[in-house]
A = this chain, B = another copy of it.
Amino acid sequence: MSQAPNPAQQAPVSLAELQLQFALDQLNTAYAAALDDKRFDDWPDFFLEQAHYKVQARENFDRGLPLALIALESRGMMKDRVYGVTQTIYHGPYYTRHVISPSRLMGQAGGRIQAQTSYAVFRCRPAGVSEVYSVGRYIDEIVQTPAGLKFASRLCVYDSEMILNSLIYPI
| B26–A10 CB distance below 8 A | yes
Q: Please give the residue numbers on chain A whose beta carbons come within 8 Å of chain B beta carbons, in ascending order.
A: 1-4, 6-10, 12-13, 15-19, 21-23, 25-30, 32-33, 36-39, 42, 45-46, 58, 95, 97-105, 116, 118-120, 122, 124, 126-137, 147-150, 159-164
Mostly, the A contact residues are mixed
- Kindly report which residue of chain B lies nearest to residue A147, judged by CB atoms: B9
In whole angstroms, how far apart are the Cα atoms of A15 and B76 in the complex?
A: 37
| B118–A36 CB distance below 8 A | yes
| A29–B104 CB distance below 8 A | yes
Q: Which chain B positions have C-beta within 8 A of A128?
A: 160-162
| B159–A33 CB distance below 8 A | no
| B95–A118 CB distance below 8 A | no
- Kindly report which residue of chain B lies nearest to residue A95, judged by CB atoms: B159
| B97–A100 CB distance below 8 A | no
- List 21 interface pairs A-B (beta carbons < 8 Å), by A numbering: A1-B38, A1-B39, A2-B37, A4-B33, A8-B148, A8-B149, A10-B26, A12-B16, A12-B23, A17-B22, A25-B102, A30-B104, A32-B101, A36-B118, A95-B159, A120-B130, A124-B159, A124-B160, A127-B161, A128-B160, A130-B133
| A161–B27 CB distance below 8 A | no
Least CB distance from A75 to B in Å reads: 14
| B101–A99 CB distance below 8 A | yes
| B148–A9 CB distance below 8 A | yes
In whole angstroms, how far apart are the Cα atoms of A19 and B105 in the complex?
A: 14
